[in-house]
Amino acid sequence: MAQEPMTRTMTIHVSVAMTIDGYIDDRSARRLVLSSDEDLADMRAARARCDAVLVGAGTVRNDDPSLRAPEGMTAPTRVTLTRSGNLDPQARMFDGSARTIVLTTAETAGPLRSVLADRAEVHALSLLTPVSIVASLQSLGIGSLFVEGGTQVLTAFLAAGSFDRLRLAVAPFFAGEGGGARIVDPARFADDAGHRLILRGARLLGDTAVLDYERHPA
């Protein structure tokens, strides 16, 4: 994916945890636990410092994340993307404890509004690309975004260079042949061998290594 022109004021943080061999999940029905308790607490605090958190519809269906904030911190707005409209209104994302936004296509928006009713704001976009997503969220008052995945969402934002900082947590094990979803799909990335990210820090949180990267200013 070629880098899209960036005309945004939003700050975008991408956060992902993976195995040493680059998997974010395995093939089992149970969610693969990657983060240590210390890493999870640090990630949730970083998420809560942003206006909104974005996860893909597949993550909502497969993991049913609560996207909750640490005690004493305000939960960010929850955002998800879907082309199919296949979202369960009983998912924890739609429990009413935080503002929730669903971005979808014009064809899917109407039926999805009927399904979700007052559980979420449904907005139609002509394209579900990072630039269109960011522009829509900025128009809705979102100034900072925490992108968590899954693979399709991570690939779109990372390949396009649509982020300012990357928080990469590495679990101390290999998925090996049991691995399922990888951190990204094959793509052409804006940050390649000739455009390297800046490593701003490396931390050990429990048994999890956390690398904090930043993009070079455009």
**What does the pLDDT look like over 102-149, one tens digit per residue?**
999 999 999 999 999 999 999 999 999 999 999 999 999 999 999 998
The pLDDT profile of the chain, 218 residues, written as one tens digit per residue, is 444 444 668 999 999 999 999 999 999 988 899 999 999 999 999 999 999 999 999 999 999 999 988 999 999 999 999 999 999 999 999 999 999 999 999 999 999 999 999 999 999 999 999 999 999 999 999 999 999 989 999 999 999 999 999 999 999 999 999 899 999 999 999 999 999 999 999 999 999 999 999 998 76
Inside any domain, residue 1:
no
In the sheet that holds 121-124, the strands lie side by side as: 121-124, 100-104, 77-82, 52-56, 144-149, 11-18, 165-170, 208-214, 198-205
pLDDT for res 3: 45
Q: What is the dihedral of CA 57, 43, 147, 141, to 10 degrees?
A: 110
Residues 58, 135 within the same domain: yes
pLDDT for res 1: 41
Inside any domain, residue 152:
no
Inside any domain, residue 126:
yes
Inside any domain, residue 148:
no
Q: What CATH number should be reported for the domain holding residue 106? A: 3.40.430.10
Residues 70, 113 within the same domain: yes
Residues 122, 182 within the same domain: no
Residues 189, 114 within the same domain: no
Count up the domains in the chain and report the number: 2
What lies within 8 Å, CB to CB, of 168 at 6+ separation is 16, 17, 18, 210, 211, 212, 213
pTM, 2 dp: 0.93
pLDDT for res 9: 87
